[in-house]
Structure 1
Amino acid sequence: MKNGKRPTRNQKQLLKKLGLNYQNWLIVKDTPGFIQTIHRFTGHSRAYNKPY
């Protein structure tokens, strides 16, 4: 598993819109279609489709 990176401002806004606390999630992959995150403490990963 890749190491996650801290979210940018736009990514923080997206995570907030998805109902997540951006302080607990790291970004693994960010493409135009989806965003893949990993939880900072538990290591659980999730992928979300980006709303257009």
Structure 2
Amino acid sequence: MKNGKKPTKKQKEAIKKARLNPDNWLVVKNLTTELHLVHRTSGNQRVIPA
């Protein structure tokens, strides 16, 4: 599992738009078009538009 970082304010807004709780997700990769996220407890990975 990759280690994620806490999302910034803009990233939190993008996570909320994807109907996810930003408190439960960490950012693994921040690309211009998408965010790669990892769940804090389960380790599930998701890709959402940035």
**What is the TM-score when the length of structure 2 is the normalising length?**
0.91
Report which of the two structures shows the higher radius of gyration computed on alpha carbons: 1
For 2:23, the equivalent position in structure 1 comes to: 23
Structure 1 residue 33 displacement after superposition: 1.1
Per chain length, whose mean CA-contact separation is higher, i.e. which structure has more relative contact order (CA < 8 Å, sep 6+)? 2
RMSD over aligned CA atoms reads: 0.9
CA distance in 2, matches of 1:27, 1:47: 10
Structure 2 spans left out of the alignment, 5+ residues? none
**What is the TM-score when the length of structure 1 is the normalising length?**
0.87
Sequence identity (%): 44
Runs of 4+ in 1 over 4 A off after TM superposition: none
